Structure 1
Protein backbone atom coordinates (compact mmCIF):
# COMPACT_ATOMS: atom_id res chain seq x y z
CA UNK A 1 0.00 0.00 0.00
CA UNK A 2 1.40 3.39 -0.98
CA UNK A 3 1.16 6.54 1.12
CA UNK A 4 -1.53 7.76 -1.30
CA UNK A 5 -3.49 4.52 -0.81
CA UNK A 6 -3.22 4.83 2.96
CA UNK A 7 -4.24 8.48 2.74
CA UNK A 8 -7.40 7.46 0.85
CA UNK A 9 -8.10 4.70 3.39
CA UNK A 10 -7.98 7.24 6.24
CA UNK A 11 -11.12 8.82 4.77
CA UNK A 12 -12.96 5.76 6.13
CA UNK A 13 -11.67 6.20 9.68
CA UNK A 14 -14.18 7.77 12.03
CA UNK A 15 -14.70 8.07 15.78
CA UNK A 16 -16.00 4.53 16.05
CA UNK A 17 -13.85 2.11 18.01
CA UNK A 18 -14.48 -0.48 15.29
CA UNK A 19 -12.88 1.58 12.50
CA UNK A 20 -9.93 2.76 14.58
CA UNK A 21 -9.28 -0.79 15.79
CA UNK A 22 -9.51 -2.15 12.24
CA UNK A 23 -6.88 0.27 10.94
CA UNK A 24 -4.66 -0.10 14.04
CA UNK A 25 -4.63 -3.87 13.46
CA UNK A 26 -3.83 -3.28 9.80
CA UNK A 27 -0.75 -1.31 10.89
CA UNK A 28 0.29 -3.92 13.43
CA UNK A 29 0.15 -6.59 10.73
CA UNK A 30 1.88 -4.31 8.19
CA UNK A 31 4.53 -2.29 10.07
CA UNK A 32 5.82 -0.90 6.76
CA UNK A 33 2.67 1.28 6.76
CA UNK A 34 3.49 3.00 10.05
CA UNK A 35 6.07 5.48 8.67
CA UNK A 36 3.52 6.39 5.98
CA UNK A 37 0.87 6.92 8.65
CA UNK A 38 3.25 9.12 10.63
CA UNK A 39 4.00 11.16 7.52
CA UNK A 40 0.27 11.84 7.25
CA UNK A 41 -0.06 12.51 10.99
CA UNK A 42 2.71 15.10 10.84
CA UNK A 43 1.16 16.92 7.88
CA UNK A 44 -0.30 18.95 10.70
CA UNK A 45 -2.55 21.21 8.62
CA UNK A 46 -4.12 18.33 6.72
CA UNK A 47 -7.71 17.31 7.54
CA UNK A 48 -6.65 13.65 7.73
CA UNK A 49 -3.87 14.27 10.26
CA UNK A 50 -6.29 13.67 13.18
CA UNK A 51 -7.47 10.40 11.68
CA UNK A 52 -3.88 9.23 11.39
CA UNK A 53 -3.41 10.23 15.04
CA UNK A 54 -6.48 8.23 16.10
CA UNK A 55 -5.20 5.12 14.36
CA UNK A 56 -1.69 5.55 15.78
CA UNK A 57 -3.12 6.00 19.28
CA UNK A 58 -5.11 2.77 18.97
CA UNK A 59 -2.02 0.95 17.73
CA UNK A 60 -0.04 2.23 20.74
CA UNK A 61 -2.90 1.52 23.14
CA UNK A 62 -2.91 -2.09 21.96
CA UNK A 63 0.77 -2.34 22.94
CA UNK A 64 2.86 0.75 23.63
CA UNK A 65 5.96 -1.14 22.51
CA UNK A 66 4.58 -0.80 18.96
CA UNK A 67 5.92 2.76 19.03
CA UNK A 68 9.55 1.75 19.58
CA UNK A 69 10.76 1.76 15.94
CA UNK A 70 9.13 5.19 15.48
CA UNK A 71 9.84 6.79 18.85
CA UNK A 72 12.39 9.24 17.47
CA UNK A 73 10.16 10.39 14.63
CA UNK A 74 7.18 10.68 16.97
CA UNK A 75 8.93 12.64 19.72
CA UNK A 76 10.74 14.90 17.23
CA UNK A 77 7.50 15.95 15.55
CA UNK A 78 4.71 15.67 18.13
CA UNK A 79 5.06 19.32 19.19
CA UNK A 80 3.97 20.40 15.68
CA UNK A 81 0.52 18.81 15.98
CA UNK A 82 -2.08 21.50 16.66
CA UNK A 83 -5.52 20.40 15.39
CA UNK A 84 -7.57 19.66 18.54
CA UNK A 85 -8.69 16.20 17.46
CA UNK A 86 -5.07 15.22 16.73
CA UNK A 87 -3.60 16.73 19.91
CA UNK A 88 -5.67 14.48 22.19
CA UNK A 89 -4.29 11.17 20.80
CA UNK A 90 -0.75 12.55 20.83
CA UNK A 91 -1.14 13.53 24.49
CA UNK A 92 -2.57 10.08 25.25
CA UNK A 93 0.43 8.38 23.61
CA UNK A 94 2.74 10.50 25.77
CA UNK A 95 0.88 9.30 28.85
CA UNK A 96 1.09 5.67 27.68
CA UNK A 97 4.86 5.99 27.25
CA UNK A 98 5.28 7.60 30.67
CA UNK A 99 3.19 4.89 32.33
CA UNK A 100 5.15 2.12 30.60
CA UNK A 101 8.46 3.77 31.49
CA UNK A 102 7.61 3.85 35.19
CA UNK A 103 5.71 0.56 35.28
CA UNK A 104 6.72 -2.11 37.79
CA UNK A 105 6.51 -4.63 34.96
CA UNK A 106 9.44 -5.11 32.62
CA UNK A 107 8.97 -3.69 29.15
CA UNK A 108 11.15 -2.40 26.33
CA UNK A 109 10.03 1.23 26.73
CA UNK A 110 12.15 1.37 29.91
CA UNK A 111 15.33 0.76 27.90
CA UNK A 112 14.39 2.67 24.73
CA UNK A 113 12.98 5.91 26.15
CA UNK A 114 16.01 8.20 26.40
CA UNK A 115 16.40 11.42 28.33
CA UNK A 116 15.98 13.31 25.04
CA UNK A 117 12.64 11.56 24.42
CA UNK A 118 11.49 12.32 27.96
CA UNK A 119 12.54 15.97 27.66
CA UNK A 120 10.59 16.31 24.40
CA UNK A 121 7.54 14.73 26.03
CA UNK A 122 7.82 17.03 29.04
CA UNK A 123 8.19 20.11 26.84
CA UNK A 124 5.19 19.17 24.70
CA UNK A 125 3.07 18.39 27.77
CA UNK A 126 3.92 21.75 29.34
CA UNK A 127 2.89 23.37 26.04
CA UNK A 128 -0.45 21.58 26.30
CA UNK A 129 -0.85 22.84 29.85
CA UNK A 130 -0.17 26.49 29.04
CA UNK A 131 -1.80 26.65 25.60
CA UNK A 132 -5.50 26.89 24.95
CA UNK A 133 -6.09 23.15 24.63
CA UNK A 134 -9.19 21.17 25.49
CA UNK A 135 -9.47 19.29 28.79
CA UNK A 136 -8.48 15.82 27.51
CA UNK A 137 -4.96 16.78 26.31
CA UNK A 138 -4.44 18.82 29.47
CA UNK A 139 -5.52 15.87 31.62
CA UNK A 140 -3.17 13.47 29.82
CA UNK A 141 -0.40 16.08 29.97
CA UNK A 142 -0.72 16.73 33.69
CA UNK A 143 -0.65 13.01 34.42
CA UNK A 144 2.40 12.54 32.17
CA UNK A 145 4.16 15.45 33.88
CA UNK A 146 3.31 14.03 37.28
CA UNK A 147 4.79 10.66 36.28
CA UNK A 148 7.96 11.96 34.60
CA UNK A 149 8.36 14.66 37.25
CA UNK A 150 9.45 11.98 39.68
CA UNK A 151 12.69 11.78 37.68
CA UNK A 152 13.05 15.49 36.85
CA UNK A 153 12.94 17.51 40.06
CA UNK A 154 12.02 20.81 38.36
CA UNK A 155 8.83 19.44 36.74
CA UNK A 156 6.58 19.09 39.79
CA UNK A 157 7.07 22.67 41.07
CA UNK A 158 6.30 24.03 37.57
CA UNK A 159 3.26 21.77 37.29
CA UNK A 160 1.93 22.95 40.66
CA UNK A 161 2.33 26.59 39.58
CA UNK A 162 0.37 26.03 36.38
CA UNK A 163 -2.37 23.98 38.07
CA UNK A 164 -2.87 26.52 40.84
CA UNK A 165 -2.68 29.50 38.47
CA UNK A 166 -5.21 28.11 35.98
CA UNK A 167 -7.50 26.33 38.44
CA UNK A 168 -10.26 28.96 38.70
CA UNK A 169 -10.43 29.64 34.95
CA UNK A 170 -10.72 26.00 33.84
CA UNK A 171 -13.57 23.54 33.40
CA UNK A 172 -14.87 21.25 36.11
CA UNK A 173 -13.09 18.33 34.39
CA UNK A 174 -9.77 20.17 34.59
CA UNK A 175 -10.41 21.07 38.23
CA UNK A 176 -11.19 17.46 39.15
CA UNK A 177 -7.99 16.15 37.53
CA UNK A 178 -5.93 19.02 38.94
CA UNK A 179 -7.21 18.35 42.48
CA UNK A 180 -6.28 14.69 42.07
CA UNK A 181 -2.75 15.50 40.81
CA UNK A 182 -2.19 18.20 43.46
CA UNK A 183 -3.22 15.76 46.20
CA UNK A 184 -0.72 13.19 44.87
CA UNK A 185 2.01 15.85 44.70
CA UNK A 186 1.43 16.88 48.30
CA UNK A 187 1.80 13.23 49.41
CA UNK A 188 5.15 12.78 47.60
Structure 2
Protein backbone atom coordinates (compact mmCIF):
# COMPACT_ATOMS: atom_id res chain seq x y z
CA UNK A 1 0.00 0.00 0.00
CA UNK A 2 1.39 3.41 -0.93
CA UNK A 3 1.33 6.45 1.32
CA UNK A 4 -1.44 7.91 -0.88
CA UNK A 5 -3.51 4.71 -0.56
CA UNK A 6 -3.04 4.68 3.21
CA UNK A 7 -4.01 8.35 3.33
CA UNK A 8 -7.27 7.52 1.51
CA UNK A 9 -7.90 4.55 3.84
CA UNK A 10 -7.56 6.80 6.87
CA UNK A 11 -10.70 8.62 5.73
CA UNK A 12 -12.59 5.57 7.03
CA UNK A 13 -11.13 5.82 10.52
CA UNK A 14 -13.48 7.35 13.06
CA UNK A 15 -13.69 7.62 16.84
CA UNK A 16 -15.02 4.08 17.21
CA UNK A 17 -12.72 1.66 18.94
CA UNK A 18 -13.57 -0.93 16.30
CA UNK A 19 -12.29 1.19 13.37
CA UNK A 20 -9.15 2.36 15.15
CA UNK A 21 -8.35 -1.20 16.20
CA UNK A 22 -8.97 -2.51 12.67
CA UNK A 23 -6.48 -0.05 11.17
CA UNK A 24 -4.00 -0.49 14.03
CA UNK A 25 -3.97 -4.24 13.34
CA UNK A 26 -3.60 -3.59 9.62
CA UNK A 27 -0.46 -1.57 10.38
CA UNK A 28 0.86 -4.15 12.87
CA UNK A 29 0.37 -6.89 10.28
CA UNK A 30 2.10 -4.74 7.62
CA UNK A 31 5.02 -3.01 9.40
CA UNK A 32 6.05 -1.34 6.13
CA UNK A 33 3.01 0.91 6.69
CA UNK A 34 4.37 2.37 9.94
CA UNK A 35 6.71 4.96 8.33
CA UNK A 36 3.89 5.91 5.95
CA UNK A 37 1.49 6.28 8.87
CA UNK A 38 4.00 8.53 10.66
CA UNK A 39 4.54 10.56 7.51
CA UNK A 40 0.79 11.24 7.44
CA UNK A 41 0.69 11.88 11.21
CA UNK A 42 3.30 14.60 10.75
CA UNK A 43 1.29 16.41 8.07
CA UNK A 44 0.36 18.48 11.09
CA UNK A 45 -2.01 20.93 9.40
CA UNK A 46 -4.06 18.18 7.73
CA UNK A 47 -7.13 16.82 9.54
CA UNK A 48 -6.24 13.29 8.36
CA UNK A 49 -3.10 13.53 10.51
CA UNK A 50 -5.39 13.18 13.55
CA UNK A 51 -6.70 9.88 12.22
CA UNK A 52 -3.14 8.69 11.67
CA UNK A 53 -2.39 9.65 15.27
CA UNK A 54 -5.39 7.65 16.52
CA UNK A 55 -4.22 4.59 14.57
CA UNK A 56 -0.62 5.00 15.77
CA UNK A 57 -1.80 5.24 19.38
CA UNK A 58 -3.89 2.08 19.02
CA UNK A 59 -1.01 0.30 17.29
CA UNK A 60 1.23 1.22 20.25
CA UNK A 61 -1.36 0.07 22.77
CA UNK A 62 -1.52 -3.30 21.01
CA UNK A 63 2.18 -3.69 20.13
CA UNK A 64 4.40 -0.93 21.51
CA UNK A 65 7.57 -2.64 20.31
CA UNK A 66 6.46 -2.14 16.69
CA UNK A 67 7.29 1.55 17.22
CA UNK A 68 10.94 0.89 18.14
CA UNK A 69 12.46 1.36 14.65
CA UNK A 70 10.64 4.69 14.41
CA UNK A 71 11.45 6.23 17.79
CA UNK A 72 13.85 8.74 16.22
CA UNK A 73 11.25 9.89 13.71
CA UNK A 74 8.45 10.00 16.29
CA UNK A 75 10.35 11.90 18.98
CA UNK A 76 12.02 14.24 16.49
CA UNK A 77 8.73 15.47 15.03
CA UNK A 78 6.09 15.04 17.75
CA UNK A 79 6.54 18.61 19.02
CA UNK A 80 5.13 19.88 15.69
CA UNK A 81 1.74 18.21 16.25
CA UNK A 82 -0.76 20.88 17.27
CA UNK A 83 -4.31 19.82 16.36
CA UNK A 84 -6.08 18.86 19.61
CA UNK A 85 -7.28 15.48 18.37
CA UNK A 86 -3.74 14.57 17.29
CA UNK A 87 -1.93 15.92 20.38
CA UNK A 88 -3.86 13.63 22.75
CA UNK A 89 -2.82 10.33 21.08
CA UNK A 90 0.78 11.54 20.68
CA UNK A 91 0.88 12.36 24.41
CA UNK A 92 -0.61 8.93 25.16
CA UNK A 93 2.09 7.21 23.10
CA UNK A 94 4.71 9.10 25.12
CA UNK A 95 3.09 7.81 28.29
CA UNK A 96 3.06 4.23 26.91
CA UNK A 97 6.76 4.47 26.06
CA UNK A 98 7.80 5.86 29.43
CA UNK A 99 5.60 3.43 31.40
CA UNK A 100 7.17 0.54 29.49
CA UNK A 101 10.65 1.96 30.08
CA UNK A 102 10.13 2.21 33.85
CA UNK A 103 8.02 -0.93 34.31
CA UNK A 104 9.29 -3.98 36.15
CA UNK A 105 8.59 -6.15 33.10
CA UNK A 106 11.29 -6.90 30.56
CA UNK A 107 10.76 -5.01 27.35
CA UNK A 108 12.81 -4.07 24.31
CA UNK A 109 11.70 -0.49 25.01
CA UNK A 110 14.16 -0.41 27.94
CA UNK A 111 17.12 -0.81 25.61
CA UNK A 112 15.67 1.08 22.62
CA UNK A 113 14.43 4.26 24.28
CA UNK A 114 17.58 6.35 24.36
CA UNK A 115 18.37 9.46 26.44
CA UNK A 116 17.78 11.63 23.35
CA UNK A 117 14.25 10.16 23.05
CA UNK A 118 13.54 10.74 26.75
CA UNK A 119 14.80 14.30 26.39
CA UNK A 120 12.39 15.01 23.51
CA UNK A 121 9.52 13.42 25.43
CA UNK A 122 10.37 15.51 28.50
CA UNK A 123 10.35 18.72 26.42
CA UNK A 124 7.03 17.84 24.79
CA UNK A 125 5.38 16.99 28.12
CA UNK A 126 6.46 20.27 29.70
CA UNK A 127 5.19 22.10 26.59
CA UNK A 128 1.78 20.42 26.90
CA UNK A 129 1.63 21.42 30.56
CA UNK A 130 2.51 25.07 30.08
CA UNK A 131 0.70 25.67 26.79
CA UNK A 132 -3.01 25.99 26.19
CA UNK A 133 -3.76 22.31 25.65
CA UNK A 134 -6.75 20.19 26.56
CA UNK A 135 -6.62 18.30 29.86
CA UNK A 136 -5.77 14.83 28.43
CA UNK A 137 -2.31 15.72 27.07
CA UNK A 138 -1.61 17.61 30.30
CA UNK A 139 -2.61 14.56 32.37
CA UNK A 140 -0.53 12.17 30.26
CA UNK A 141 2.33 14.65 30.46
CA UNK A 142 2.16 14.82 34.26
CA UNK A 143 2.31 11.04 34.61
CA UNK A 144 5.11 10.77 32.07
CA UNK A 145 7.17 13.51 33.72
CA UNK A 146 6.66 11.98 37.16
CA UNK A 147 8.22 8.72 35.93
CA UNK A 148 11.04 10.53 34.12
CA UNK A 149 11.77 12.38 37.36
CA UNK A 150 13.23 9.20 38.81
CA UNK A 151 16.20 9.60 36.42
CA UNK A 152 16.37 13.38 36.19
CA UNK A 153 16.32 15.04 39.62
CA UNK A 154 15.38 18.46 38.23
CA UNK A 155 12.02 17.26 36.79
CA UNK A 156 10.02 16.77 40.01
CA UNK A 157 10.71 20.28 41.40
CA UNK A 158 9.84 21.88 38.03
CA UNK A 159 6.74 19.73 37.65
CA UNK A 160 5.57 20.59 41.19
CA UNK A 161 5.99 24.33 40.51
CA UNK A 162 3.88 24.15 37.34
CA UNK A 163 1.16 22.00 38.94
CA UNK A 164 0.88 24.23 42.00
CA UNK A 165 0.94 27.40 39.93
CA UNK A 166 -1.79 26.26 37.52
CA UNK A 167 -3.90 24.34 40.02
CA UNK A 168 -6.55 27.01 40.68
CA UNK A 169 -7.16 27.90 37.03
CA UNK A 170 -7.45 24.38 35.62
CA UNK A 171 -10.32 21.89 35.26
CA UNK A 172 -11.44 19.35 37.85
CA UNK A 173 -9.76 16.57 35.84
CA UNK A 174 -6.45 18.48 35.85
CA UNK A 175 -6.76 19.10 39.60
CA UNK A 176 -7.45 15.42 40.32
CA UNK A 177 -4.38 14.24 38.40
CA UNK A 178 -2.22 17.08 39.75
CA UNK A 179 -3.20 16.13 43.33
CA UNK A 180 -2.13 12.52 42.69
CA UNK A 181 1.19 13.53 41.16
CA UNK A 182 1.98 16.13 43.85
CA UNK A 183 1.20 13.56 46.52
CA UNK A 184 3.64 11.10 44.90
CA UNK A 185 6.33 13.78 44.58
CA UNK A 186 5.93 14.79 48.23
CA UNK A 187 6.00 11.14 49.32
CA UNK A 188 9.34 10.67 47.54
CA UNK A 189 10.80 13.75 49.26
CA UNK A 190 10.16 12.33 52.73
What is the alpha-carbon distance in structure 2 between the residues aligned to residue 130 and residue 159 of structure 1?
10
Q: How does 1:12-51 map to 2 (within 5 A)?
A: 12-51=12-51
Distance 1:144 1:63 in 2: 19
Give the aligned partner of residue 113 of structure 2: 113
Separation in 1 of the partners of 2:65 and 2:92?
14
Structure 1: segments with no counterpart, 5+ residues: none
The residue matched to 1:107 in structure 2 has which SS? coil
SS class of match (1:159): helix
Distance 2:113 2:146 in 1: 17
SS in 2 for 1:23: helix
Counterparts of 1:1-150 in structure 2 under 5 Å? 1-150=1-150
Please report how far the alpha carbon of residue 63 of structure 1 lies from its aligned counterpart in structure 2 after TM superposition.
2.0
Cα distance in 1 for partners of 2:179, 2:28 equals 37
DSSP-derived class of the 1:145 partner:
helix
**Alignment coverage as a number of residue pairs:** 188
**3-state SS of the aligned residue for 1:82?**
coil
Match of 1:166 in 2: 166
Tell me, in whole angstroms, the C-alpha distance in 1 between the residues paired with 2:36 and 2:114: 24
TM-score calculated relative to the size of structure 2: 0.98
Can you list the C-alpha shifts for 1:4-41, whole angstroms capped at 9, x where unaligned?
10000000000000000000000000001111110000
Q: Deviations over 1:50-93 (max 9, x none)?
A: 00000000000012111101111000000000000000000000
- TM-score, scaled to structure 1: 0.99
What is the 5 A alignment of 1:149-160?
149-160=149-160
Residue ranges of structure 2 left out of the alignment (5+ in a row): none
SS of structure 2 residue aligned to 1:55? helix
